[in-house]
Amino acid sequence: MSTFTFISFIHELFLIILLCLIIKINQCERRMKHPNVVRVLGLCIDGQEVNIVSELCHSDLNAILHGGMRGGKWQDKVSLSAKERISIMIQISRGMLYLHKKERLIHRDLKPANVLLNNNFSIAKIGDFGISKVWKNKKRPL
């Protein structure tokens, strides 16, 4: 087997493994239904490009706190009121409680960039389950 054939084989194998992982993530996310968890609508594969189609969220908490893209435009950081901050924290907690208790899922990458918000910051949703893990030990609680 030539080096080129071997590299081509490894590349194909990597794409197959990646595709299986993405399908697993898609199936996991599509069954989750909670107001504080991003809803995945589908998966689109075009050649080597994979896109996950999800409900529309206008920004993430990191962009709000530190400045960044919001609604397709660059925005300066936003000063959230105490009421907005508490509401976001409660919604994140509710989403995490759902993931742990109902889905038995450990997110493993919860950070401001993975907390998505609507335009007026009234709804917070947890997203990006790329490195999440299902807790399989049913006898031992999370």
Active site (catalytic) residues: 109
Tell me the residue type at 60.
D
Are the CB atoms for 36 and 92 separated by under 8 Å?
yes
Cβ contacts of 24 within 8 Å, gap of 6 or more: none
Cβ contacts of 97 within 8 Å, gap of 6 or more: none
Cα(142)–Cα(140) distance, rounded to whole angstroms?
A: 7
Q: What share of the chain is helix, strand, coil (3-state, %, to 5)?
A: 40, 25, 35
Q: How far is CA 74 from CA 65, 69, 77, 93, 119, in A?
A: 13, 4, 10, 28, 14
